[in-house]
Amino acid sequence: MIEYLKGKVIFKNIKSVTLEIFDQFALNIFVTNENAFKLNESYQIYIWENILEDEINLYGFLDKTEREVFVNLLKIQGIGPKTSLNILRKNNFSNLVFLIKNEKYQELEKIKGIGSKATLIINELSKKMPKINEKINFNYPDVYYALCSLGYDSNKIFKALQKMPNNLTEQEIFKKAVEIIKNG
């Protein structure tokens, strides 16, 4: 089993990147967000392998916890690697955890191929992800969801909210989060 690969991204495609390793060979890796990668930059990508009779597919994640969520999605009946990746692509990692923690079934139901499986996904992942739930703390779910609805990147929102002191109002947190996101 491959834990991770290190290399330079030489090509980006919708849903995948090509990683060149040691200037010797290149591998196509399905990813949740190809825009998170810059061409000719080096990355360490955590891998999940799907070995079939006639092909080998690699699924890559910049974060080990995101890979853990992907693998936990695969354990749910009727969810395969493509659907699991699609769930993470549509909601990305931190937003998916938010939806699960706040039981936002209707948001998951909107994803192609999910529909009535949304309840099962939320119920199963809530049980299987105690370590992830401990790592991720959404102190300000209303601010998070408001910023997501305004089109801000959920990963950037999540990181900004993790930096917030506890003594601010939600309005102050909202303003400060926008400032952090805009300034990088």
Percent of the residues in the chain that have a pLDDT greater than 70, as a whole number: 93
Among 99, 79, 34, which Cα is nearest to 71's?
Answer: 79
- Indicate if 30 and 91 belong to the same structural domain: no
- pLDDT average, residue stretch 126-142: 65
20: domain CATH number is 2.40.50.140
Q: Which residues of 44-54 are buried (b: 16+ CB within 10 A; e: fewer)?
A: ebbbbeeeeee
Residue 124 is which amino acid?
E
Q: Which residue has the tokens 């900004």?
A: 160
- From the list 43, 51, 92, the residue with the least C-alpha distance to 70 is 92
Does residue 102 register a pLDDT over 90? no
Asked if residue 112 and residue 86 are part of one domain, the reply reads: yes
Q: What is the CATH number of the domain that holds 93?
A: 1.10.150.20
Helical spans, DSSP H, in the chain: 64-74, 81-101, 105-109, 117-128, 130-135, 141-149, 154-162, 170-183
Domain final position from 32, 61, 90:
61
Which of 2-11, 72-81, 106-115 is predicted most confidently?
A: 2-11
* 124 and 74 share one domain: yes
Mean per-residue pLDDT, 48-57: 95
Handedness of CA 25, 55, 44, 181 (dihedral sign): positive
Q: Looking at per-residue confidence, does 178 or 98 come out higher?
A: 178
In tens, the pLDDT along 56-95 reads 999 999 988 889 889 989 999 889 999 999 998 887 677 7
Percent of the chain at pLDDT above 90? 41
- As for how many domains the chain has, the answer is 3
Are residues 32 and 76 located together in one domain of the fold?
A: no
Per residue in 107-130, is it b (16+ CB within 10 Å) or e — as a string?
bbeebeebeebbeebbebbeebbe
Residue 57 and residue 69 in one domain: no
Structural domain boundaries enclosing 31: 4-61
Please give the pLDDT value at position 136: 56
- Structure pTM? 0.75
